[in-house]
């Protein structure tokens, strides 16, 4: 009798042994946007036994141009848990776990797996992934896309599937290749072609499968220019002066950077310290708690005029549009007065405690 993986198994590089390896594997996908939806769709269909999805964002209408798992009725819903719903319809035989949360140095152990696939658009998250995977010897596959261009690289820090090899000793980490990189333009600012994210995501999924079954993975940095239909392979080397390769895992140890403000109130015992800083995309300001929180969104929406209400965030109107995430991050899209922002953050934390 045919099984759902028969066309994959008859490919001699996979076979029944390789398919069983996939079914026994665990993969974490960080970011369930354009790259992430392509990656987890392909991995679910390929029979990866357990897929963990991590993303704190919600689906926006502009996402539908390229984020392949979502449709119009999903606008406003959390990306990770919505993707989980569709993936379970695609393959009911595998395990899908969704975390509607952002990855940080307090929940970074969620990355424990056979392979981590980086589909985020946040540079700080990439540095965190790099350090944890380097420290814990976990393979991870990097991908990025903007405009008509994309990049992909495999960081093989762990064991390579069936052959059990660990070849990470002389290979570069993310910081070796991008030592001084900062948050660049976002898709919101520069745009991106859906075909670019689909191609890069497909290559990421393919490299993940190669790692899991023990096939030789890509060693070069791939750079795609879609308008020219060109893929360059760039050889990269380990940086002998790289602090991460020397064992300095500063992202794992440090809290978020930014100016720290303390609200002097006995009523705010666990909500007293937070940072406010300019968003990396320069599209507004972000307030983040110095420790993980769980805000009561129901209480907050009773106090403020609510523009949008989802299980993981609210959009409220208070001195302009404000996005309140249930884990404590607050985004100011219009307000620029830091003193007013500090006061509003304290009030929201007090209301939602």
Tell me which of 20-24, 207-211, 311-315, 323-327 is least confident: 311-315
What pLDDT band is residue 105 in, cutting at 50, 70 and 90?
Answer: confident
Instruction: Give the relative orientation of helices 15-23 and 194-213 as an angle to the nearest 10 degrees.
Output: 110
Judge whether 79 and 87 are in contact, CB under 8 Å: no
Q: How far apart are CA 101 and CA 104, in angstroms?
A: 9
What pLDDT band is residue 307 in, cutting at 50, 70 and 90?
Answer: confident
DSSP bridge pairs for 26? 50
User: Strand, coil or helix: what is 27?
Assistant: strand
Tell me which of 100-104, 111-115, 228-232, 282-286 is least confident: 282-286
Task: Tell me the average pLDDT across 142-150.
Answer: 91
Q: How far apart are CA 313 and CA 132, in angstroms?
A: 28
Task: Tell me the average pLDDT across 114-129.
Answer: 93
CA angle 117, 286, 244 (to 5 degrees): 40
Catalytic residue among 187, 251, 279, 318: 187
Domains contained in the chain, CATH given: 6-251 (3.40.50.720), 255-352 (no CATH)
pLDDT at 352: 85
Taking 90 as the threshold, does the pLDDT of residue 169 lie above it? Answer: no
Q: Is 238 buried (19+), middle (13-18) or exposed (0-12) by CB count in 10 A?
A: middle
Taking 90 as the threshold, does the pLDDT of residue 128 lie above it? Answer: yes
Q: Which two tokens stand for residue 289?
A: 């708690």
Q: Which two tokens stand for residue 48?
A: 């990866």
Is 187 marked active-site? yes
Judge whether 39 and 117 are in contact, CB under 8 Å: yes
């Amino acid at each position: 009798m045919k099984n759902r993986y028969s066309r994959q198994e008859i490919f001699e590089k996979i076979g029944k042994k390789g398919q069983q390896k996939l079914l026994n594997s665990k993969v974490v996908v960080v970011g369930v946007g354009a790259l992430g939806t392509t990656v987890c769709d392909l991995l679910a269909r390929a029979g990866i036994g357990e897929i963990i999805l991590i993303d704190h964002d919600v689906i926006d209408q502009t996402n539908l141009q390229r984020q392949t798992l979502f449709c119009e009725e999903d606008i406003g819903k959390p990306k990770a848990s919505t993707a989980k719903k569709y993936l379970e319809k695609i393959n009911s035989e595998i395990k899908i776990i969704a975390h509607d949360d952002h990855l940080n140095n307090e929940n970074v152990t969620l990355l424990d797996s056979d392979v981590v696939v980086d589909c985020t658009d946040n540079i700080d998250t990439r540095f965190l992934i790099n350090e944890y995977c380097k420290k814990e010897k976990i393979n991870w596959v990097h991908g990025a896309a903007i405009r008509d261009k994309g990049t992909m690289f495999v960081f093989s820090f762990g064991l390579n599937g069936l052959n059990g090899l660990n070849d990470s000793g002389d290979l570069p980490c993310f910081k070796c290749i991008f030592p001084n990189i900062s948050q660049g333009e976002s898709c919101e600012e520069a745009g991106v072609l859906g075909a670019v994210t689909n191609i890069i995501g497909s290559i990421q999924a393919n490299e993940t499968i190669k790692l899991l079954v023990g096939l030789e993975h890509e060693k070069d940095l791939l750079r795609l220019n879609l308008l020219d239909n060109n893929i360059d392979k760039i050889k990269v080397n380990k940086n002998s002066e790289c602090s991460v390769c020397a064992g300095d895992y500063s992202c794992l140890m440090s809290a978020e950077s930014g100016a720290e403000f303390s609200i002097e109130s006995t009523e705010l015992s666990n909500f007293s310290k937070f940072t406010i800083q300019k968003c990396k995309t320069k599209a507004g300001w972000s307030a983040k708690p110095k420790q993980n929180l769980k805000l009561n969104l129901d209480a907050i929406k009773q106090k403020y005029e609510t523009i949008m209400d989802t299980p993981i965030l609210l959009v409220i109107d208070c001195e302009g549009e404000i996005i309140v995430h249930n884990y404590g991050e607050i985004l100011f899209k219009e307000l620029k007065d830091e003193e007013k922002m500090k006061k509003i953050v304290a009030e929201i934390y007090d209301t939602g405690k």
